[in-house]
Structure 1
Amino acid sequence: MDFPSEIIIVPILFIALPWLIMHYITKWKTAGTITNDDEQLLDELYHLAKRLDDRMDTVERLVASDNPDYRPAKLMHDRDVDNQQLRELDRLIAEKKGPQ
C-alpha cells in the first residue's frame, strides 16, 4: 500500500504556505509602527520631562536670585527661539490625541 503524496503536498501548498507568507507580511508591517503601550510610555516620559524642566527653571530662578551673575547654560524658557521646537511638539501631540 503506497501512501499518496498529494494528501501532504496539497494542504502544504494551499494552507501552510499562504499562512506563512501572510504571517510574515503582517510582522513586517507592524514592526515599523509604535504600539499603544509605546505611545503611552512616550507620553508619560514627555510629561515627566516637562515637570523636570519646570523644576530646573525653579532651581535656576532661586540660584539667579542669590547670585546676579549666574547665567544658565541651558535653553531659556522665556525666549521665543528656544521654545519653537517645544511648541511644535505640543502641537503634534495635540493633533495625535485629537479633541478630548
Structure 2
Amino acid sequence: MEAGDVLGLFAIVSLFIFLPWIILHYVTKWKTASTLTTGDEALLDELYHLARRLEDRVNTVERLVAADHPDFRPLGRSMTVDEPISELERMLADQKGFRP
C-alpha cells in the first residue's frame, strides 16, 4: 500500500466516521448541559419558598403600617401584587407532584 492510498483511506474514514461522531458527541453534551439538574431544581424550589415567606412578611408589615396609618399606600406596587405569584403557582401546579 502506498502512502497516498493510506492518506486517502484516512481522509475517508475521518470524513464519514470521526467527524460525525465528534459532532454528535458535542451536540448531546450541549443538550444535556442545557437541562436543569436535580440540584438546580431543589435550589429553585428552595428560592421559591423563600420568596413566598418574604412576600408574606412584607404583606404583614404593610398591614401593620396600614393599620397605624390609614393613608399608607405601598410605593411602586399596584393593587394586583399577587398576580405574578399566582401565575407562577398555576404553572408549577401544572407540573406533576407540586404542592406549595
TM-score range, shorter chain: 0.5 to 0.7
The equivalent residue for 1:61 is 63
**What letter matches 2:64 in structure 1?**
L
Matches within 5 A, 1:75-90: 75-76=78-79, 81-90=80-89
- When normalised by structure 2's length, the TM-score is 0.66
Work out which structure has the larger RCO, using CA pairs closer than 8 Å and 6 or more positions apart in sequence.
Answer: 2
**What letter matches 1:35 in structure 2?**
L
- When normalised by structure 1's length, the TM-score is 0.66
Q: Per-residue displacement from partner, 1:28-64 (whole Å, max 9, x unpaired)?
A: 5456x44134433332222211111111011112222
Whole-angstrom distance in 1 between the partners of 2:35 and 2:9: 42
Residue 85 of structure 1: SS of its match in structure 2?
helix
1:25 aligns with one of 12, 15, 27: 27
The equivalent residue for 2:44 is 42
Whole-angstrom distance in 2 between the partners of 1:44 and 1:75: 26
- How many aligned positions are there? 94
Residue 82 of structure 2: SS of its match in structure 1?
helix
Q: 1:26, CA displacement in angstroms? A: 2.7
Could you tell me which runs of 5 or more consecutive residues in structure 1 were left unpaired when the two chains were aligned: none
2:10 aligns with one of 3, 8, 11: 8
